[in-house]
Chains A and B, each alone.
Chain A
Amino acid sequence: MTFSKLLFKNVKQHLNESVAYLLACAIAIMIYFSFNVMTHAPHLVTLIAEPAQLLGVFAFAKVVICLLVLTFMAAANTVLLQQRRQELTLLKVLGSSRFSIASLFFLEQILFGGVALLLGVGLGLLLTRLFTLILLRFMQVTQVAPQFLFSWTALGQTVGIFCCFFLLMGLYDVLLIQRQPLRLRPDTNAADTTRWFTWPFALIGVVLTALGFGMAQKFFQTIQFYNRFFNTNSGLLVILASILGFVVLGLALIYRWSLPLLVRQLRRHQRWAYQGLRPVMLVNLRRDLHENAMALWVITLTIASTLVILGSIAMGREILQRSLDNTSPTAITVADDAFPAVQRTLKQEGIHVEADHVATFKLVPSAFQLQSFLRLHPMIETLPLTVISLSDYRQAQQFQPTLPRLQLTTGEGVILKQEANYFTLPLQTVTQTVHLKDPQVPQVKLVGISGQFAFGTLRYVSSGLVVADQTFAQLRDEGAVRYHALAFTQTQHSLTVSRQLLKQFDNRLIYFKATKNKLKRQAQRTTGAYTLPVLTARYPTQVSDQMGYGLLIYVCLFLSCVFMLVSGGMMLLKQLGNSSQLQQQYRLLTKIGLASVDLKKMIRWQVGFLFELPVLFGSCCAYFALHILSVLLFGTSLKLALFIAGGYVVVYGGFSHITTQLIWQRVTKKESRSDSFN
């Protein structure tokens, strides 16, 4: 047989087991190419207010893809070569030189690489329109039509980089072949022995993980306890680092010691273990856990990281939306002085103002203390407070329905503070008096803290204070300013007008001069002056934010797709590597009366367990990490992260099904003639 015939025969023969490798590489190439071609499409780049943002995000994503693909290729090649160790040894025994064997495997790699590259770039070219459509939808851009994208530079870069990768892998194969020991028989099962440290390690693993999760769940309390116990303020960092360390180390110990030990104990429990195929399944499971502990650990951590990144981006979007609602709750908010000009412009442009809410804000020098749950010592705030009356606050509730309902009597007040979440817990320990430098109202009794600002945060110099109308009326008027909150429907035209107005009033501010006992409006900026913007517009900011977050979510979703494929493909290859042992078991078990359907059930269960276990642990880790984030980021929801975790379960379920089918095909492969009794 000539060298080329042997090469093509080998490729054909191993196509089935390499199909996962090929497809994962092709899809990664496709996504890389689509990212690359988008960065070379001027009409897309100019859509973003800051094109560097788009280029930077895509450049980062491309680096991540390259790293993921390289790691996957190296790991997959190691597994594939291990599976072909007998073939390698046979070739050596038959007298082939190491060089000719290495050349054979190198060329196989190049052939596979060529096919993956063609497939990836081809799919990328075909699907650019779809990808652009998805990106534009995510960015909520409607004015640009999706179209096919092509760039010679992008094509050249993609082909060049991945050609280098496949060449590198070819060389890596050569290196592995040179170091491969001769072995004709497959490895037998590792001995099921326990050593003196098995039990302690197994227990430590469970305890550390449980402790990490417990600390994450009771995050506030743990930090408070730590800070009080050690009389320090560094609890946040220490506890975060401890949780991370406990969970990472704990999971490693669980995979390496606890789970195999659990399987071992289950085997000893004869009433449970001596049922159907359980003895065989437990042995296989123990072997799989023993061989794949490290891979399962890495996959778990990466799933957790992916979920946390995606979850936090989703949270970020939610926070941004909330922050937007909190900053500019209506289309335009404008100070009383500039209101006539704005009203004129809107009338000229034919924009119908649906509502005009007017509110008065009074800036008052103040001093108050708050107790943060993160710190032992109280936080003292001496910046001026922006005071609003309860009736204006209630007016704002018409267009800010999420504003909490307040009931205040004379002399009572509620602080509005951005980081309200940090101060919610120890409310009883708050020094419940706000000192105002006002002769009529020297102090207000604090009855609550809220993180939501009526009329938007930009109307407040720093923190706000809502007081009863009678108290508000008693306050001095020197530091007062009236704002109009105008509401109108967003259209393309209103967006343009909003942008024009924003430009027209760009950098125009209202200044307040601070004296010893009061704040007073003034015409010009002076040293130490406090400022408020004359005009703010909601829609331009909203559109820009939507585009930025749409881009981030698009990139992260595709990256997580690459990761799912890469990790799923890796697990699939590892599982296929064990199919020769399953084949032996199948042959024996069918002889002693096992129905095929039972064995297939066992394989499905085993494969499914190994695929879904990292998803389960990874999702648990991500849940607790996101729980911490949601605590720190003001109670945002975990919906998207949970949705994506569900996606993982489904995708890995698909991989598990494909793996079961492939293993089943191999296991039930027609035996050679008269092989049954041998």
Chain B
Amino acid sequence: MAFIEARNLRKLYGRGGNLVTAIGGLSFTIEAGEFVGIMGPSGAGKSTLLNLLATLDQPTSGEVLIDQENLTYLSKAALAKFRRQRLGFIFQDFNLLPGLTVEENIVLPLTLAHTPLAQIQTACQTVSRILGLTDLLTAAPDEISLGQQQRVACARAMITQPQLLFADEPTGSLDSQAATELLQYLTAINQREHTTILLVTHDAFTASFCQRIIFIKDGMLFAELRRQKTRAAFFQQVIDMQATIGGGQKYDLF
């Protein structure tokens, strides 16, 4: 049974004769425990799609169902509660709060949910051990490296043990080593915790860690790739598809 279901999603911006279609009728499903990537050229509507799925934005028409719950008609407060309890977010620029320590940043979703202290401490220890942050808990975000900052963001997203993790260009600000480490962590989380991960990226290397990639162009579903063989082979497939989307010559011939 589908864990995420997008039904004919449309998102328009502007008004009158100045309407811009960001998403033009997308429908797809994602199974529970899948690691899915969303790729497409700039302006394809990747981030808009992620915002709609993550309930941060309302679609102009269409519906989003997560775990068979229709989120389109929920109130703002109910959506906030849903995000707090069921979703995790990783952002390109980490979005850590600068005045808070690493530990305070990690436990923020739990404090917002008024979780008891003992539970917060246990969850923080677990997640920081998994992500190798145990020695950095008292540091300020600007005292640690970018890779470590992204791991903190990851820990913050994971601390509530969400069923669904959204990541928007999570490796965009990282060097290759830090990016690889983060993606390995995400893969481990996906396999160990069976967390459904939805990742938006431009980068073929990052996308090659996914099990399935949805390609969109101009707000429409363009293609879908499923990893069947090795990661290297999948990487090559992604590169080819990117060339197709970017130039379009190869597939336009047919």
Which residue from A271, A287, A594, A674 sits with its C-beta under 8 Å from B117?
A: A271
Decide if B77 touches A274 in the complex (CB within 8 Å).
no
Q: Which of A99-107, A278-286, A465-473, A648-656 contacts B (4 or more CB under 8 A)?
A: A278-286
Decide if A274 touches B56 in the complex (CB within 8 Å).
no
Q: Mark A569-597, 1 if CB is under 8 A from B, else 0.
A: 00000000000000001011111111111
User: Which chain A residue has the least Cβ–Cβ distance from B20?
Assistant: A673
Known: A275-B114, A276-B112. Is A677-B100 also a contact (CB below 8 A)? Answer: no
Answer yes or no: B233 CB below 8 A from chain A CBs: no
Answer yes or no: A398 CB below 8 A from chain B CBs: no
Q: How far is the CB of B43 from chain A (nearest CB, A)?
A: 9
Q: How far is the CB of B139 from chain A (nearest CB, A)?
A: 11
CB within 8 Å of A: which B51-102 residues: 51, 54, 56-57, 76-77, 80-85, 87, 89, 91-93, 95, 97-100
Q: How far is the CA of A188 from the CA of B141 in the complex (A)?
A: 11
Q: How far is the CA of A220 from the CA of B117 in the complex (A)?
A: 51
Decide if A597 touches B48 in the complex (CB within 8 Å).
no
Answer yes or no: A408 CB below 8 A from chain B CBs: no
Q: Which of B103-111, B127-135, B179-187, B222-230 contacts A (4 or more CB under 8 A)?
A: B103-111
Decide if A590 touches B80 in the complex (CB within 8 Å).
yes
Decide if A595 touches B76 in the complex (CB within 8 Å).
yes
Answer yes or no: B140 CB below 8 A from chain A CBs: yes
Contacts of B30 in A (CB 8 A): none
Answer yes or no: B5 CB below 8 A from chain A CBs: no
Contacts of B200 in A (CB 8 A): 677
Q: Mark A248-284, 1 if CB is under 8 A from B, else 0.
A: 0000000000000000000100110011111110011
CB within 8 Å of B: which A660-678 residues: 673-674, 676-678
Contact-residue bracket for chain B? 35 or more
Answer yes or no: A504 CB below 8 A from chain B CBs: no
Decide if A589 touches B112 in the complex (CB within 8 Å).
yes
Answer yes or no: A180 CB below 8 A from chain B CBs: no
Decide if B112 touches A277 in the complex (CB within 8 Å).
yes
Decide if B81 touches A592 in the complex (CB within 8 Å).
no
Decide if B84 touches A593 in the complex (CB within 8 Å).
yes
Answer yes or no: B239 CB below 8 A from chain A CBs: no
Decide if A596 touches B76 in the complex (CB within 8 Å).
yes
Answer yes or no: A318 CB below 8 A from chain B CBs: no
Answer yes or no: A189 CB below 8 A from chain B CBs: yes
Answer yes or no: A191 CB below 8 A from chain B CBs: yes
Contacts of B121 in A (CB 8 A): 270
Decide if B108 touches A279 in the complex (CB within 8 Å).
yes
Decide if B77 touches A191 in the complex (CB within 8 Å).
no
Decide if B114 touches A592 in the complex (CB within 8 Å).
no
Contacts of B164 in A (CB 8 A): none
Q: How far is the CB of B132 from chain A (nearest CB, A)?
A: 22
Answer yes or no: A192 CB below 8 A from chain B CBs: yes
Decide if A278 touches B111 in the complex (CB within 8 Å).
yes
Decide if B47 touches A674 in the complex (CB within 8 Å).
yes
Q: How far is the CA of A274 from the CA of B80 in the complex (A)?
A: 19
CB within 8 Å of A: which B205-236 residues: none
Q: How far is the CB of B83 from chain A (nearest CB, A)?
A: 4
Decide if A274 touches B120 in the complex (CB within 8 Å).
yes
Q: How far is the CA of A580 from the CA of B156 in the complex (A)?
A: 23
Answer yes or no: B50 CB below 8 A from chain A CBs: yes
Q: How far is the CB of B167 from chain A (nearest CB, A)?
A: 10
Decide if A677 touches B104 in the complex (CB within 8 Å).
no
Answer yes or no: B142 CB below 8 A from chain A CBs: yes
Which residue from B22, B93, B113, B114 sits with its C-beta under 8 Å from A674?
A: B22
Contacts of A591 in B (CB 8 A): 54, 56, 83, 89, 91, 95
Q: How far is the CB of B216 from chain A (nearest CB, A)?
A: 13
Q: How far is the CB of B104 from chain A (nearest CB, A)?
A: 5
Decide if B104 touches A279 in the complex (CB within 8 Å).
yes
Which residue from B51, B57, B80, B99 sits with its C-beta under 8 Å from A594?
A: B80
Decide if B97 touches A585 in the complex (CB within 8 Å).
yes
Residues of A within 8 A of B (CB): 188-189, 191-192, 267, 270-271, 274-280, 283-284, 286-287, 585, 587-598, 673-674, 676-678
